[in-house]
């Protein structure tokens, strides 16, 4: 009889996982399962599925090498029930454990599922806190009660004080909490982005790639060219590569975009953080040490740490304190269907083609491509939030509901009415032109403001402001732009609306 059956999920591949902390190799069994429900509840990018399954298989082998008994169910096991609950029930019958131990999941739907396990199995089930984050769910709830989560920036400062990261006594290093003003440069001419480390699939990964190719060929995304790290050792190599070779320029160019350059100066470690191959504290500590050693400037290190210590922790806290009702919001009453170009249909919009093409190739696009191109278009076009949220969850290797939903629902679509951000991240074509070279070879004209030849972002931006004036017109952070809108004549506003309707609804152009 097994003392404890320890259930480890595919995004919990951490040696220090709470459910493994007191593991007894002689009497306990670790259960890991590949189930169809998790590969198809949305049509995940094939590279995302391959990354998780390969990383799971490698993690199971690492546990076995340490003398741990691992009960591993593969996706193609003919007896697989293809659900977490079904496979747990089968494993309980096999091993007859005295108890089941698990770490709390990252997603609300799995958390609800776990709530039934004890009664369904007639067995003690211990769900332990996921302590791989700086701020636990309970601690964040306490911050909410203390009114310290109204805005990410103030939560971030609280986390800086609590951890001591980039602090000089009671003050922030460099005399400022935030160096965003130094981090908005476009790429200068002649600057060649660095070569990025990728990993050759080993025998285990190749077997997974063959499995995924055979089962998920109808999912959006290319499997060819898979080069993600699938072990902790590889993930650590990827982190060292970023810290040593990329981080010094990350701050300056983190918002930049360039045709044909899919990665630029971004870290590419978010998938490894989100499945547990890396931990946020080790990532932030190594970045801070680079600044202390004089190897990376403060603006780069602070900007990078803010994404993890600030934003990543904040959106997770919002998710768990606001769910399950959070997903239902649609503050701007957006109802339009997601356009076919998000699934690869041809478009003359060069920026959209570039960002969606990179997403198809890599299961990756960096945060400005997601927020200010594909996200900005969905916001301006009035896409129904659940549709664009589902798309982001499907197509990115680092997308899990706890991180994707608040980012898209709140930050991209402003569907939560301002809980996550004080104003929508809406922009015209001028922003994309400033931060990229996409507009240079585009069929649309950035100079044209309306009409068939105009950049669609131009009239969609103003049309968005017109359509949402009743809800956004008194927003203090949008006072200047609404002042400009109110100076436009009725004829100008009508032409903006006509152009937007012709583009979005396929009506005839005048």
Structure-derived torsion over alpha carbons of residues 308, 314, 315, 316, reported in degrees to the nearest 10? 90
- The candidate with the shortest Cα–Cα distance to 242, out of 302, 287, 280, is 287
- The candidate with the shortest Cα–Cα distance to 62, out of 17, 105, 99, is 17
pLDDT per residue as tens digits for the range 23-60: 999 999 999 999 999 999 999 999 999 999 999 999 99
Segment (H or E) for 476: none
pLDDT per residue as tens digits for the range 90-101: 999 999 999 999
- 31 φ, ψ (degrees, to nearest 5): -105, 130
**Confidence at residue 478, expressed as pLDDT on a 0 to 100 scale:** 93
Residue 324 has pLDDT above 80, yes or no: yes
3-state secondary structure 73-100: ECCCCCCCCCCHHHHHHHHHHHHCCCEE
Residue that has been written with the tokens 């300056």 in this structure? 252
Within 8 A by CB and 6+ apart from 350, the residues are 259, 438, 439, 441, 442, 443, 444
Task: Quote the tokens at residue 236.
Answer: 């650590």
Q: Measured between alpha carbons, how far is 278 from 360 in angstroms, rounded to an integer? A: 25
Residue 509 has pLDDT above 70, yes or no: no
Neighbours of 484 (CB within 10 A): 11
Segment (H or E) for 330: none
Q: Measured between alpha carbons, how far is 347 from 381 in angstroms, rounded to an integer? A: 15
Q: Measured between alpha carbons, how far is 56 from 9 in angstroms, rounded to an integer? A: 8
Strand partners, 383: 336
In the chain, the domains with their CATH numbers are 4-128 (3.40.50.620), 137-302 (1.25.40.80), 340-505 (1.10.579.10)
**Confidence at residue 147, expressed as pLDDT on a 0 to 100 scale:** 84
Residue 86 has pLDDT above 80, yes or no: yes
Residue 62 has pLDDT above 70, yes or no: yes
**Confidence at residue 75, expressed as pLDDT on a 0 to 100 scale:** 97
Q: What is the mean pLDDT of residues 115-126?
A: 96
**Confidence at residue 508, expressed as pLDDT on a 0 to 100 scale:** 56
pLDDT band at 387 (very low <50, low <70, confident <90, very high): very high
Q: What is the mean pLDDT of residues 438-463?
A: 95
pLDDT per residue as tens digits for the range 352-381: 999 999 999 999 999 999 999 999 999 999
Task: Quote the tokens at residue 259.
Answer: 């045709």
Residue 1 has pLDDT above 70, yes or no: no
Residue 383 has pLDDT above 70, yes or no: yes
**Confidence at residue 150, expressed as pLDDT on a 0 to 100 scale:** 79
Residue 507 has pLDDT above 80, yes or no: no
**Confidence at residue 148, expressed as pLDDT on a 0 to 100 scale:** 83
Q: What is the mean pLDDT of residues 309-320?
A: 96
Residue that has been written with the tokens 């197509």 in this structure? 395
Q: What is the mean pLDDT of residues 276-287?
A: 98
Inter-residue contact 475 to 423 (CB < 8 Å): yes
pLDDT per residue as tens digits for the range 185-232: 889 888 889 999 999 999 999 999 999 999 999 999 999 999 999 999
* Percent with pLDDT over 90 in the chain: 92
**Confidence at residue 138, expressed as pLDDT on a 0 to 100 scale:** 93
- The candidate with the shortest Cα–Cα distance to 212, out of 43, 60, 400, is 43
Residue 344 has pLDDT above 60, yes or no: yes
Segment (H or E) for 318: helix 313-322
Whether the model pTM is above 0.85:
yes
**Confidence at residue 338, expressed as pLDDT on a 0 to 100 scale:** 97
Q: What is the mean pLDDT of residues 83-89?
A: 98
Inter-residue contact 420 to 410 (CB < 8 Å): yes
pLDDT band at 510 (very low <50, low <70, confident <90, very high): low
**Confidence at residue 321, expressed as pLDDT on a 0 to 100 scale:** 95
**Confidence at residue 343, expressed as pLDDT on a 0 to 100 scale:** 96
* Average pLDDT of the residues of the chain: 95
Task: Quote the tokens at residue 15.
Answer: 């040696």
**Confidence at residue 190, expressed as pLDDT on a 0 to 100 scale:** 85
């Amino acid at each position: 009889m097994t003392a404890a059956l320890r259930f480890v999920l595919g995004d919990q591949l951490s040696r220090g996982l709470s459910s493994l902390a007191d593991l007894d190799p002689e009497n306990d069994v670790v259960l890991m399962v590949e189930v169809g429900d998790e590969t198809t509840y949305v049509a995940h990018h094939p590279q995302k599925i391959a990354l998780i399954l390969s990383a799971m298989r490698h993690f199971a082998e690492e546990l076995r090498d340490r003398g741990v008994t691992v009960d591993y169910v593969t996706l193609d096991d003919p007896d697989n029930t293809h659900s977490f609950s079904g496979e747990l029930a089968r494993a309980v019958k096999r091993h007859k454990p005295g108890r089941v131990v698990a770490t709390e999941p990252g997603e609300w739907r799995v958390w609800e599922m776990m709530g039934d396990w004890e009664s369904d199995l007639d067995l003690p089930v211990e769900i332990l806190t996921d302590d791989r984050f700086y701020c636990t769910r309970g601690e964040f709830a306490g911050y909410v009660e203390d009114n310290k989560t109204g805005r990410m920036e103030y939560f971030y400062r609280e986390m800086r004080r609590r951890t001591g990261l980039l602090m000089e006594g009671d003050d922030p290093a460099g005399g400022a909490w935030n160096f965003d003003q130094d981090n908005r440069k476009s790429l200068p001419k002649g600057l060649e982005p660095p070569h990025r480390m990728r990993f050759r699939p080993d025998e285990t990964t190749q077997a997974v790639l063959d499995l995924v190719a055979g089962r998920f060929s109808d999912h959006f995304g290319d499997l060819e060219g898979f080069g993600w790290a699938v072990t902790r050792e590889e993930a650590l190599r990827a982190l060292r590569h970023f810290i040593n070779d990329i981080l010094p320029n990350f701050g300056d160019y983190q918002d930049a975009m360039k045709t044909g350059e899919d990665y630029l100066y971004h870290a590419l470690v978010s998938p490894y953080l989100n499945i547990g191959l890396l931990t946020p504290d080790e990532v932030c500590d190594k970045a801070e040490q680079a600044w202390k050693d004089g190897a990376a400037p403060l603006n780069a290190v602070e900007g990078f740490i803010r994404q993890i210590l600030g934003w990543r922790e904040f959106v997770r806290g919002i998710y768990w304190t606001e769910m399950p009702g959070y997903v239902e919001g649609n503050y701007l009453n957006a109802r339009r269907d997601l356009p076919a170009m998000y699934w690869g249909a041809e478009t003359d919009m060069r920026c959209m083609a570039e960002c969606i093409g990179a997403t198809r190739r890599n299961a990756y696009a960096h945060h400005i491509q997601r927020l200010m191109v594909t996200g900005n278009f969905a916001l301006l076009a009035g896409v129904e939030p659940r549709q664009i949220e589902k798309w982001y969850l499907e197509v990115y290797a680092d997308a899990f509901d706890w991180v994707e939903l608040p980012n898209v629902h709140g930050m991209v679509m402003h569907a939560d009415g301002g809980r996550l951000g004080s104003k929508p991240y809406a922009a015209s074509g001028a922003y994309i032109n400033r931060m990229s070279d996409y507009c240079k070879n585009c069929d649309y004209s950035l100079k044209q403001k309306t009409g068939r030849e105009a950049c669609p972002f131009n009239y969609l931006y103003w049309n968005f402001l017109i359509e949402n004036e009743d809800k956004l017109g008194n927003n203090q952070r949008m006072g200047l732009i609404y002042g400009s809108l109110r100076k436009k004549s009725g004829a100008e506003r009508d032409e903006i609306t006509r152009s937007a309707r012709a583009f979005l609804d396929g009506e005839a152009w005048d």
